[in-house]
Every structure is written in structure tokens, then in C-alpha cells.
């Protein structure tokens, strides 16, 4: 399914691994391993240049698992921001959960703690209708809890996620972030 995505505010939420960059079941542990997906950096730039504020919302349990440090994560994010800036774009903020699932924290998607942090820090009153682009069921569930517009991409774990969906698919599905951006910019 594809089609129009409503945009009530000029904010877009993006999962990171599998949406912006290649994902790995072995985790992305360094800036060397962090590689953007084709078209994702340009998509973020295009959205920024059309007035959208981009926020990355990402689970990073590799920290809690001891696979990489916060410093290594910051280097990955510096690389991502640098690549986006080089194309004329901007990422307004990056919110991440460093915990493992067994920690039962409030910030690990599908819980909405990261979104609450975002709203508090950025003085955002509602995320109703805001596009939330992800490749996993937890991204879609997180979006649904705050009335954001969940959007699924087939990159990363997206194709696996499509197969896991048991209810009728009620979210737009796109090939990748570039296709999402193209759709949003045509609205």
C-alpha cells in the first residue's frame, strides 16, 4: 500500500537503523559500520529544505549489551549529521534508548518515553498526525500510541515486518525513505 500521508505539523520522526542506514542483526557498532541507505541522506536534506524538522528516534540496546559505548554512538551520529549537512539538510535532534529489553525502561520503543522527552525538550504539544517512519512493528506501535502517522519502509527489517503484521495493514508502506520523502513533498 502506498498513498498520501497527512502532515499536520512540519515534523518528521525517523527510526535510524534500517531507515536512514543499513541495519545488521549483529548491531551497528561503529561509525565505520554506519553506512547510509541509498537516497536516505538526500531525502532528509530535501525534507529539511522544504521546512520539515527531522528527529531521529532510535533504540540502541548495543550500549546496554556492552557492544559499543555512548562515545561510539555519538561518532555514528556525528557522521550521520555531517553527511546530511553536506547535502544541505539538518537533523534537529536524536533521541535514543540505550537499554536492553530486560531493563523494562520507559524509553525503549514501542514505549513512548523518547517521544515524551522530545515533546518536553522541543515544546511540542502533540505528535498527532506527524509522520513516524520505521521498519519495525515497535516503530508502528510507538507511533500509534501518540496518534502519529506510522509509515513503514521495506528497507532494514521492513519486509520481515510486513510479513509479521497480523491485522489488516492500515499504514502506508514505501520502498524506502526516499520514496516517503517524495510522497510527503508532493502533498
Q: Which residues are catalytic?
A: 15, 17
- In degrees to the nearest 10, what's the CA dihedral of 85, 136, 158, 1? -100
Grid coordinates representing 55 are 528527529
Grid coordinates representing 179 are 520514496
- Distance separating alpha carbons of residues 82 and 49, to the nearest angstrom: 16
- Distance separating alpha carbons of residues 170 and 150, to the nearest angstrom: 9
Grid coordinates representing 131 are 509522520
Give the total residue count for the chain. Answer: 187
CB 106 within 8 A of CB 122: no
CB 95 within 8 A of CB 108: no
DSSP β-bridge partners for residue 95: 57
Amino acid at each position: 500500500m502506498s498513498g498520501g500521508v497527512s502532515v499536520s505539523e512540519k515534523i518528521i520522526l525517523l527510526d535510524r537503523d534500517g531507515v536512514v542506514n543499513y541495519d545488521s542483526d549483529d548491531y551497528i557498532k561503529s561509525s565505520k559500520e554506519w553506512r547510509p541507505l541509498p537516497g536516505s541522506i538526500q531525502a532528509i536534506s530535501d525534507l529539511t529544505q522544504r521546512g520539515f524538522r527531522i528527529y531521529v528516534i532510535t533504540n540502541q540496546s548495543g550500549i546496554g549489551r556492552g557492544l559499543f559505548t555512548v562515545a561510539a554512538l555519538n561518532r555514528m551520529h556525528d557522521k550521520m549529521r555531517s553527511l546530511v549537512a553536506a547535502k544541505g539538510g539538518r537533523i534537529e535532534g536524536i533521541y535514543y534508548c540505550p537499554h536492553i529489553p530486560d531493563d523494562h525502561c520507559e524509553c525503549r520503543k514501542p514505549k513512548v518515553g523518547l517521544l515524551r522527552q522530545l515533546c518536553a525538550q522541543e515544546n511540542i504539544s502533540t505528535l498527532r498526525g506527524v509522520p513516524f517512519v520505521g521498519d519495525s512493528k515497535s516503530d508502528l506501535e510507538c507511533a500509534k500510541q501518540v496518534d502519529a502517522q506510522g509509515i513503514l519502509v521495506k528497507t532494514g527489517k521492513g519486509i520481515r515486518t510486513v510479513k509479521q503484521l497480523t491485522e489488516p495493514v492500515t499504514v502506508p508502506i514505501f520502498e524506502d525513505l526516499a520514496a516517503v520523502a517524495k510522497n510527503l513533498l508532493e502533498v
